[in-house]
Structure 1
Amino acid sequence: MRPVRSFPRLSPAERRVWNAYPTGAWVDLRTGDPEEDDPARGAGWGPDRTVRAEVLAALLRGARQAAQGGTAGLRLAGARVTGPLDLSDATLTGKLHLLNCHLAGAVSLNDATAVGVRFRGCDLERVRATRCTVKGLLDFDGSTVHAGIRLDNAEVNGQLRLSRMRLSAPGERLKPGANWMVDTRRTISLEEARERRLDQVRHALWAGGLTVTGATFMRDTHVTGGLRLIGAKLRSGIYLQGSVVTATGPHAVTADMLECGSAEFSAGFTATGTIRMRGARVGGTLSFSDATLKAPGRVLHLSHAQVDEVILTPESIEGEVNLGYSRIGVLLDRPDAYPGGVHLNGLVYEALRGPWSVAERLSWASRDPDGYRPQPYEQLAAWYRRIGHEPDARRVLLAKQRDRRGTLRPAGRAWGGLLDLVVGYGYRPWLAALWAVVLLTAGTVAFGAVPPVKIDPEEVRVFQPFTYTLDLLVPVSVFEQRGAWDPVGWTRWLAWTLIVSGWILATALISGAARVLRPGPAA
């Protein structure tokens, strides 16, 4: 045990903390007046509530051992902690639990190992816990952190609690004309330093590579700055219901390659800035139910992701949505979830849910800001086929051909328009029958009124207007009528029109059938 003389001038408050540590007893310095005990006013607390950070650090580093049969721990309420609390590289000998405390200096837990760390309802300047290991609960519930929390590559073998917090990104503290030294051991200018630190300054929570075995709770928290969760592994999910994230840069949440059980950006969650989850893996539900999402450009970037279920039913949303090249089990959404463009190219889903009509789904599939893409139509048609809606699948594929027509050269557009008019690109073959009926009727009436003349007067034949018209429409003469009779006057133009129309109908039917019978997308 380190002797008390290491701190020869302990204040009465410090002495109480020193003596309580071996048994883990609480030291409560609060007055009982909620206004006076507000940690935000802690800078004005007097000596009777002031404890030096170095005293706390010495205890946690092993200055005093646990009492016989007891469990050591630092449990302190209502204290003003002066100086930086530096626990870097330490193995904490007891649990750290601060309640309603004011810490003006930075808290450093870099590379530290602890059995439990709790700052509940505290007012902290900054927390650095890079690569730390917490074998239990890491708790900041109800606290205010003015200059951000760093948890990059940390490991929490328990829950991470960040609920009901006020969390802000670190401000730029560089003074004009100052220089910074970097790892390359060369001096850089203020402007270059600002540029290098810009991303860090924009994030209130810096937690790339963080691993949490329990749930991560961040409910009803107000964040000024972004949440950086790149490559984080949140095994039991992350829950941000009711939280408000106001980005100071382009991204409110940066969570590329995130792995988690579930992710709840729901129940009043509000984000001003892009939510980027490119390449994320969500084993449960990714929910934006009743959320408010707003960004000047892309509001949700969820490309190349794998998610069991996506619920995209926000209260309001402004900006583009990118779901490209993702694999989603169930997509539950509404038509108003995509007020801007939507990137769907490469998206694969097992099921669609929501109050959609076929026309609305077609509009959804056609709104890629990059222009025509065939895959969204094919995927949608495959889904309709899988649920037994073959007519709707054909309608989708027809819309695909019509959208594709706009990308072709003039000749291709003209031929495509003709195929659409005559047989609906093969998906509406009944149109050909309709055209045939119209042409047959017109020819029968016209040739009945103005019969053609017999080419061979000696041949015995009885003229039938219907059979003659049908023989003109068929590309190859079947009834041998067109060679036996010669139209007269204006009916010659009608006969030529019928012959050309017959060839067009036959060609369109063959071309359309080839499109329909071509192997389509896998259902």
Structure 2
Amino acid sequence: MATARRRLGVLLALAILLAPSLGTCATASPDYDKVCAEHEAYWTAREVSLWNEICSGKSADFYDPASSALSRLPLPFRRPPLLDAWSSQAQANAKSEKTRSYPYLSALPFLPVAPDYSSYSLRRLVSVSPQFIRDILASPRYKNAIPNHKLEVDSVDVASYSEIRLDRLSLPGLSFKDVTLPMVTMADSVINGSLELDNVRVKSLYMEGLTVDNVRIVLTMFTGAGRMMPVYNGVLDATGSKINGNLHVFGVVACKVSLQDARVAGSAYVDGLSAYLLDFRNGQFSSAVTLTGSHLGVQGKASCDDTEVTDALKLANVNFEGAHFASTLKLINDEFSDADSARRHDLGGYVGLGSALIGGSLEITGSTFYSVLDLGGSEIANQLILAREGTKGRSGAAVRWGPDATLFLDNAKIGTFYGPRVKALWPKQIEIRNLSFKAFVSKEGALWSDPGESLPGELPPVEWYPYWLSLAPARPFSPQPYEAVRAYLTASGELDAATAVGIKEKDQLRNQQCANHKVVDCVLLWMSWATIGYGYRLWLSVGWTIFFVIAGAMVFRKTEAAYQNSMPYGLAYSFETFIPFIKLRERHSKIEASGKARYYFYIHKLAGWIIGLFLVAAVSGLTK
């Protein structure tokens, strides 16, 4: 009996201890169901139903199937899946007759094969209020009831309202698909998951200081005032944001995309972007960054939601200045030009990478630059890749430049220039003051372009490097690039090319001194060029010596002094009078030519002194 009592006491004690936990478990489900059934008094019936969809763990796909008239269809709407690869043929298909009924499609310059909408029902999106969106994301009782801490919204229209403010909040993961939105702000908020926009039409998205795991934005238009391209003025602003994973932007149309001062821990991949401005200034990117298949530039005067563009020539349309790329940056198959017409290359197209730090390589193969590519002050640890050689399964690709394009490399530090020695791979003007680099690398006989397009043959080093340096402005003259190239060629054993570069340097210096009316310097450089080739062609002094010795002998032999001293040829006399400090015979110094020959030998001796002095200067290295 005592044992039974002790057992009963233990069971009662356990029951008392476990009662609170059992009560919590028993009431958790009713509380959860109660939250799903609750709603705010001002919510509409459709918003209440939509909240029930979300709370029950379903994707918030709520639309009105009653109407399928195109005139009542808010864009965007459901489209068939996209192909993985975009091609030039796809661009042509995007402008085919079938897509002309949908004018906004032409705003995507790299849209894939024109979709067939006949088998897809047209949907009318259901309107909800921004307050409803904010309630379920900001209110803890609603937010904590969202399953898996991720809100998925499909086929909803919020665009008829002014804005959605989600600033300084802790938000669940967000996924919007086939949705229209007004301006959305998420300043200084934290998303505990990923942010996904798929086939979304939004006025502007401001997420300055946002912290998020991953960002994926696909086939989304930032419309701003909502007018059709090419005047969309919406903004995607992620200034100062922190993305702990990857950034993927695909097929986006906007006026401005900003990642200024942003931090991206994973890879950043931007494909098929059509925008006026792309701003990556002072960003830090820990992995590879790729910008491919995009069209970027300004059409004269443009007005983004927060930026007035009045002078395209002073605006960096693509700006990476001060950014830090720990890995490789690729600008592949992009077009940097006026958004209206590539022929209007005097407007826009500025690509700024000034003071950028790239821990890997910068690849610009297949891209076309119509204005300025600014790499001034940047540091590229590995390669600046201008062309990729073709392989068995892939065509080659090379960079292209517009007629007025300029490449700024002032104060840049480049590991290696990679590409063939072909004029077409460089613009007509480059700025290379204080440029430093380690090597130029090319592969002889490689296929650097598409099979249907052939690049001119490579120039030999002795022709290529003087040509490349001549692309820099002649005034003001800067000797540093020439010295850097000459030092590299000398170290590489390309002595003939190093000589050609040295001569080109002195030619440029002589032209500047003459143009600045510095007469003494101009004359000395002309004489140095003529007598010793600036110290690189010492054989010229030998040629001049032979010429003057023979000319002096021919003049002397016709004088009376030659007859009196029995010197019918006069070669020894001519040689001795031409070369300073040399005496072959004592009596030569006592012979004096008379008549007109006397004046010739004044010139003869002076020429000998001049050539001798320049020769000594060349041997001592003073003329190089």
**Which whole-Å CA distance do the structure 1 matches of 2:144 and 2:510 have between them?**
79
**By how many angstroms is 1:268 displaced?**
3.5
**By how many angstroms is 1:122 displaced?**
0.5
Matched residue, 1:166:
253
Q: 1:380 to 1:65 in 2, by over 3 A?
A: closer
**By how many angstroms is 1:387 displaced?**
1.2
CA root-mean-square deviation: 3.0
Matched residue, 1:233:
284
Which of 541, 544, 549 is matched with 1:435 structurally? 544
Structure 2 SS opposite 1:487 = coil
1:269 aligns with 2:335: yes
1:211 aligns with 2:263: yes
Structure 1 SS opposite 2:608 = helix
Matched residue, 1:174:
none
**By how many angstroms is 1:496 displaced?**
3.0
Matched residue, 1:178:
none
Matched residue, 1:321:
407
Which of 54, 58, 61 is matched with 1:28 structurally? 61
Q: Deviations over 1:2-46 (max 9, x none)?
A: 57544246555434432343464323236698978763479xx99
% identical equivalent positions? 17
1:160-309 alignment runs, 5 A limit: 160-168=247-255, 204-223=256-275, 225-247=276-298, 248=302, 249=309, 250-260=315-325, 261-272=327-338, 273=348, 274-295=350-371, 299-307=372-380, 308-309=382-383
CA contact (8 A) 1:153 1:211 kept: yes
**By how many angstroms is 1:64 displaced?**
2.9
1:355-434 alignment runs, 5 A limit: 355-357=458-460, 358-369=462-473, 370-408=475-513, 409-434=518-543
1:514 aligns with 2:617: no
Structure 2 SS opposite 1:162 = strand
CA contact (8 A) 1:219 1:240 kept: yes
Q: 1:5 to 1:29 in 2, by over 3 A?
A: closer
* Paired AA for residue 63 in structure 1: R
Structure 1 SS opposite 2:296 = strand
**Which whole-Å CA distance do the structure 2 matches of 1:165 and 1:270 have between them?**
16
Which of 31, 36, 50 is matched with 2:127 structurally? 50
Matched residue, 1:503:
609
Structure 2 SS opposite 1:21 = helix
CA contact (8 A) 1:159 1:214 kept: yes
* Paired AA for residue 411 in structure 2: Y
Q: 1:24 to 1:138 in 2, by over 3 A?
A: farther
Which of 30, 39, 43 is matched with 2:75 structurally? 39
**Which whole-Å CA distance do the structure 2 matches of 1:446 and 1:155 have between them?**
87
Matched residue, 2:454:
none
**Which whole-Å CA distance do the structure 2 matches of 1:210 and 1:472 have between them?**
77
**Which whole-Å CA distance do the structure 2 matches of 1:447 and 1:276 have between them?**
69
**By how many angstroms is 1:450 displaced?**
4.7
**Which whole-Å CA distance do the structure 1 matches of 2:170 and 2:69 have between them?**
35
Structure 1 SS opposite 2:297 = strand
Structure 2 SS opposite 1:218 = strand
Deviates more, 1:231-240 or 1:47-56: 47-56
CA contact (8 A) 1:310 1:331 kept: yes
**Which whole-Å CA distance do the structure 2 matches of 1:270 and 1:453 have between them?**
77
**By how many angstroms is 1:497 displaced?**
3.1
Matched residue, 2:106:
none
Q: Deviations over 1:256-300 (max 9, x none)?
A: 1011122222214334321112100111222222212223xxx12
CA contact (8 A) 1:109 1:132 kept: yes
**By how many angstroms is 1:488 displaced?**
4.4
CA contact (8 A) 1:252 1:271 kept: no
**Which whole-Å CA distance do the structure 2 matches of 1:65 and 1:322 have between them?**
51
Structure 2 SS opposite 1:328 = strand
Deviates more, 1:304-313 or 1:477-486: 477-486
**By how many angstroms is 1:428 displaced?**
0.7
Query: Which structure has the highest strand share of the two?
Result: 1
**Which whole-Å CA distance do the structure 1 matches of 2:287 and 2:582 have between them?**
75
Structure 2: segments with no counterpart, 5+ residues: 1-31, 79-121, 224-233, 303-308, 310-314, 339-347, 387-397, 443-457
Which of 384, 399, 410 is matched with 1:310 structurally? 384
Alignment: residue pair count:
469
CA contact (8 A) 2:50 2:62 kept: no
**Which whole-Å CA distance do the structure 1 matches of 2:619 and 2:512 have between them?**
22
Matched residue, 1:109:
186
Matched residue, 2:305:
none
Q: Deviations over 1:392-424 (max 9, x none)?
A: 212211221221123331122112111110111
**By how many angstroms is 1:485 displaced?**
3.2
**Which whole-Å CA distance do the structure 2 matches of 1:60 and 1:311 have between them?**
46
Structure 1: segments with no counterpart, 5+ residues: 169-203, 519-523
Q: 1:383 to 1:34 in 2, by over 3 A?
A: farther
**Which whole-Å CA distance do the structure 1 matches of 2:77 and 2:152 have between them?**
20
CA contact (8 A) 2:535 2:623 kept: no
Structure 1 SS opposite 2:218 = coil
CA contact (8 A) 2:401 2:426 kept: no
Q: 1:55 to 1:128 in 2, by over 3 A?
A: same
State the TM-score, normalized to the length of structure 2. 0.69
**By how many angstroms is 1:48 displaced?**
7.0
* Paired AA for residue 541 in structure 2: A
Matched residue, 1:190:
none
Matched residue, 1:183:
none
CA contact (8 A) 1:241 1:269 kept: no
CA contact (8 A) 1:117 1:138 kept: yes
Q: Deviations over 1:234-256 (max 9, x none)?
A: 22132221111122443211221
Q: 1:488 to 1:72 in 2, by over 3 A?
A: closer
CA contact (8 A) 1:126 1:145 kept: yes
**By how many angstroms is 1:492 displaced?**
3.0
* Paired AA for residue 207 in structure 1: L
1:111-130 alignment runs, 5 A limit: 111-114=188-191, 115-130=193-208
**Which whole-Å CA distance do the structure 1 matches of 2:619 and 2:50 have between them?**
86
CA contact (8 A) 1:242 1:270 kept: no
Q: 1:321 to 1:163 in 2, by over 3 A?
A: same
**By how many angstroms is 1:340 displaced?**
4.2
**Which whole-Å CA distance do the structure 2 matches of 1:405 and 1:55 have between them?**
75
Q: Deviations over 1:332-359 (max 9, x none)?
A: 3643354443211100011124544433
Q: 1:278 to 1:65 in 2, by over 3 A?
A: closer
**By how many angstroms is 1:381 displaced?**
0.6
State the TM-score, normalized to the length of structure 1. 0.81
